[in-house]
Each structure stands twice: as C-alpha cells, then as structure tokens.
Amino acid sequence: MKRTVILAAGALAVLLAGKPATAADIARPAPAPVPPVTTPVSAYNWTGFYLGVHAGYGWADKGWTDTIVPFSISHDADGFLAGGQVGFNYQINNIVLGIEGDLSWADINGGAASPRLGGETFDTRIDWMGTLTGRIGFALDNWLIYGKGGFAWVNEDLGYAVPGFAAASGSTRTGWTVGAGIEYGFWNNWSAKLEYNYMDFGSRTVSYAPAVVFDVDQQVHAVKLGLNYRFGGAPIAARY
C-alpha cells in the first residue's frame, strides 16, 4: 500500500512538471521605450520679395590729373546717405540667392587746394548713388551672411576754380560694385542688416576751358544700416 502511494505521488509530480503554461504564466513583453520629447528648432525662411530703408555713411577717394601739363592732386570727400532698397531672395537649404536694387540720397562733399596758377581749388559733391547687384548668402537660421556684386551709379558735381575763373561739371557716372553684409531676422517678416559697399567709377575726362582738362578718378565706399520687410518669408518650425 505504501509503495502504491509513493508511485502515485511521483506520477502526479511528473504531470505537474509537464503541465502547459497558462497565459498568466507567460512573461509579458517589455513596453516600447518612449521617445524623448524634442523641441522643434526654428528655421527662418528667407525666400520672398522685400522692401526696406537704409541710412549710413560714405566716403570717396578723388584723384585729379591734368592732361596737358604734369600735375595731379587728390582729396577725400565724405558725408551721410539715406535711401531705400527692393529685392528678392530664394533659399535652397542654407544657400540664399537674390537680386537687389538700392538708391541713396547723399551729402558727400570734399575738396583740395593747390597754389598752382595763383591758387586752384578742386571740389566734389555727390548727390545720389545707386546699385543693382546679385547676392549670394549662407543662412544660419535667422542669420544671413552674404556677398554681392554688380553695377553702380553716382551723380556728382566737380567744381574747379582759379582767380577770376570758376566752373562746375555735373554728370552721372557708371561703374561696378562689390560688397558684403550680415542680416538678422528678428521678428516675423522683419530683418535688419549691416552692409559695406565698394564702388569704382574709373576715370572721367572733364574740360573746364580749352587749356584746363582733367582726368578725374573716383572710388566710393559706403556703410549702410538697413531695415527690410519681407513679403512671404517668416520663421517656421521645420527642423527637429
């Protein structure tokens, strides 16, 4: 009898050991990890037409060379300028391509004197200047670093005088320009910029009398602080 009980207990233990696992016995899979919460990085959209104003300071290097007798003299001219600009940008990833035209009223004046011929004076006055340029820049979110180059125009009056004689010659000159700047988009469609332009107008021959003829060479520098409003560009949440 005792032997029968022992055999029965052993058989029961074997059955229990081989019993299939129930659903409660199966280990539940670990929950999927929750992705970290990320904050979108604001990407400024530079594409679009824009319109703006600027103000700044300009200075010119002026060289006068007598074409009849060996003589030359140079002087500086400087003063303030203000005006407006219009343009268009197109952004491709971080590259910004554009075209811009600007026009500045100017009050840039300067002159020099020479004791030659009993006292000569040479005067320069720049009334306005303008440029039409292509631009290429690199955007770092709402910062834009750019270079530009193209055509330039300047309207000037060149005055000459000796005792008993005075004359002036006014004209609009065409030249070329290169420049660089940095622009910051600070609120919605508004941006501010700081820009430098170098303009070269070469040499122009000016006659004041049959025996008074000069080649006048001119380069102009300008630093502008500007404000632009862009139609269509704005900060957008684009990168994560």
For every one of its 240 residues, what pLDDT tens digit does the chain have, with 9 covering 90 and above? 444 434 344 443 443 344 444 444 455 666 666 666 554 445 789 999 999 999 999 999 999 999 999 999 999 999 999 999 999 999 999 999 999 999 999 999 999 999 999 999 999 999 999 999 999 999 999 999 999 999 999 999 999 999 999 999 999 999 999 999 999 999 889 999 999 999 999 999 999 988 899 999 999 999 999 999 999 755 554 444
Report the predicted TM-score, pTM, of the whole model to 2 decimal places.
0.79
Decide if 65 is inside a domain. Answer: yes
The answer to whether 64 and 43 have CB atoms below 8 angstroms apart is no
| CATH number for the domain harbouring residue 229 | 2.40.160.20
Q: Can you say whether the dihedral through the CA atoms of 227, 229, 230, 235 is positive or negative? A: positive
In this structure, which amino acid lies at residue 229?
A: Y
SS3 14: helix
Decide if 128 is inside a domain. Answer: yes
> Where are the strands (E) in 93-164, listed by range?
95-114, 120-140, 143-162
Decide if 142 is inside a domain. Answer: yes
The answer to whether 52 and 227 have CB atoms below 8 angstroms apart is yes
Please count the structural domains in the chain: 1
Decide if 134 is inside a domain. Answer: yes
Decide if 161 is inside a domain. Answer: yes
Decide if 145 is inside a domain. Answer: yes
Decide if 214 is inside a domain. Answer: yes
Decide if 202 is inside a domain. Answer: yes
- Supply the range of the domain harboring residue 153: 47-234
